[in-house]
Structure 1
Amino acid sequence: MLGRTQKAIDSFDQALKIKPDQHEAWNNRGIALSNLGRFQEAIDSFDQALKIKPDQHEAWNNRGIALRNLGRFDEAIASFDQALKIKPDNSSSFYNKAWYYTLQGNIDLTLENLTQAINLDEEYRERAKTDPDFDSIRADERFQRLLLGS
């Protein structure tokens, strides 16, 4: 798997030599780098994509995930917020923000963002049921009601 991911990065690099303004290639290169745990390089790729196409909500969301993985939480939230400015129904960005607020111990903002994610995509209700990121609030009554759909 790692070998294929590196080959994908090499292919994106070749494509970008030919056409350096391909924002999709920069974004996909960033995803591949993130998959290898090379988060700062991934952020650099997402930033390149965003220089070309500043309204690419996927790149903003992916950038937020990479920043989160580096522990740069305030920057991550700013990226998720930017993704939501562009695409207000981006359930993934709401879910990622919920995780961040759980880490901060802010249950109200966790539930607010998680509710938004679930309202936009029911898949997130099931995901939150087993996501260890929410273990610290798992016993909270409001969290339990949200997971039950009531």
Structure 2
Amino acid sequence: MAAYRVTHLDAIEEFDDAGCHYRPIRHQLGVSAFGVTAWTGHAAGDPVINEHDEGDPTADQELFLVLQGHAEFEIDGDQVDAPTGTLVFAPPRTKRKATAKQAGTTIIALEGTPGQAYDARGWELWAPLFPLYEAGRYDEVADRLRTVVEESPQYPMLFFNLACCESQSGRTDDALAHLRQAVTMSEEFRTTATTDPDLDPIRNDPAFLQLIKGVGGQG
């Protein structure tokens, strides 16, 4: 019998992503076929969905449901009034954002890329740490992200980001080990590692060069 899971939205921890508050439904329930996130504006005028434009790789196909409250969407320059129960569909590359017109407005967003299997990257777990990363607090990010990957080891992107922070922190051995894990899980990160400046401190290490060449990558 297939396992199923039940939770309440309020039981899911809320995080902040560039001033927008979200609950990671997909990660919490283990959804792998599509992305699903709850976004909330706590006060009238708060952003609920940050702007995505046609050049944003996160501007996939999305369906939004205003679960509670009252929102105003801006879709390709058009203003769309969206009270509770409104569904808004945004095709890929559509510019989109939403603002709360009432306190507590919550929008459920479902996303995917047409013609492609959904790639769960674990952005929900990285987003709360990104401001610290941007501030150059690499040691702190590395310490916190290490706990995250121990609890949620299924996301190669998080191992890669951890390796980047450890590289910047002078933790060469840890950085190489976590980069190796990321590359083992996804070849994408072997390519990314060749140009990511966060890895410059370990770029000339023989183990890094072997890993990039695909020699001893499983070691």
Pair in the same fold by TM > 0.5: yes
Cα offsets for 1:56-83 (capped at 9, x unmatched) = x532212122221122334423442353
Q: CA deviation at 1:109?
A: 0.5
Q: Secondary structure at the match of 1:11?
A: strand
Q: Is the contact between residue 133 and residue 141 of structure 2 (CA under 8 Å) also seen in structure 1?
A: yes
Matched, 1:11 2:11: no
**1:76 aligned partner:** 141
Q: Which has the higher contact order (CA 8 A, sep 6+)?
A: 2
Percent identity, aligned pairs only?
26
Q: CA RMSD in A?
A: 3.2
Q: CA deviation at 1:128?
A: 0.3
Residue from 97, 105, 130 that aligns with 1:65: 130
Q: Is the contact between residue 65 and residue 96 of structure 1 (CA under 8 Å) also seen in structure 2?
A: no
Aligned pairs for 1:1-150 within 5 A: 4-5=51-52, 11=98, 13=100, 17-19=104-106, 57-150=122-215
Say how many residue pairs are matched: 115
Q: Is the contact between residue 64 and residue 76 of structure 1 (CA under 8 Å) also seen in structure 2?
A: yes
Counterpart CA distance in 2 for 1:117 and 1:146 is 11
Q: Is the contact between residue 58 and residue 83 of structure 1 (CA under 8 Å) also seen in structure 2?
A: no
Counterpart CA distance in 2 for 1:66 and 1:99 is 15
Task: Compare CA radii of gyration and give the structure with the larger one.
Answer: 2
Q: Is the contact between residue 64 and residue 75 of structure 1 (CA under 8 Å) also seen in structure 2?
A: no
**1:37 aligned partner:** none
User: Structure 1: 5+ residue runs without aligned partners?
Assistant: 26-56
Q: Quick check: 64-73 or 137-146, which moved more? A: 64-73
**2:63 aligned partner:** none
- Say if 1:78 and 1:140 are closer, same or farther in 2 by CA, change over 3 A: closer
Q: Is the contact between residue 64 and residue 77 of structure 1 (CA under 8 Å) also seen in structure 2?
A: no
Q: Which amino acid aligns with 1:125?
A: R
Q: Secondary structure at the match of 1:76?
A: helix
